[in-house]
Amino acid sequence: MEQAMHITLVRIIFILCLSVFAVSVTAHTPPEDARVFFIGLTDGAVVSTPLKVKFGIEKFGITPAGTKDKRRHTAGHHHLLLDLKQLPDLDQPIPRDDHHIHFDRGETEALLDLSPGKHTLQLLLGDETHEPHDPPLISEKITITVE
């Protein structure tokens, strides 16, 4: 009898562990058709500074960094990748520097003061801890020229 209870307890613990793993794996998985993009700014655009950049998102939500409620599973916040030659490690939190600009409050637009010349812009959505979703929600990289 005691051995049967032990086996039952082990099974229950195993099932609970699988449940926790399943939730953690799917918690930050955006729908297949979700996407982030720039609104009104296209590859090859010639612009002036300061430049107002608007961030678009479809099939997923925007929420501030650090959100602890259930919205964190279906939303994220924008990061602007500026003049990057290579994407950051998508399995780690997005770095915070002049090339990885965080919009922690859930902003959907920014005013950029860019130097004259060519610049690349790309959006990457991060979760409540600044990690990219799996799969990552990342826009096409565009190149603009600032006059």
At 22-31, the pLDDT tens digits run: 444 444 789 9
Domains, the chain: 31-146 (2.60.40.10)
pTM of the entire structure? 0.81
pLDDT (0 to 100) of residue 15: 58
In sequence order, what are the residues at sequence separation of 6 or more whose Cβ sits closer than 8 angstroms to the Cβ of residue 72? 27, 28, 63, 127, 128
Strands 51-58 and 35-39: antiparallel
pLDDT (0 to 100) of residue 72: 78
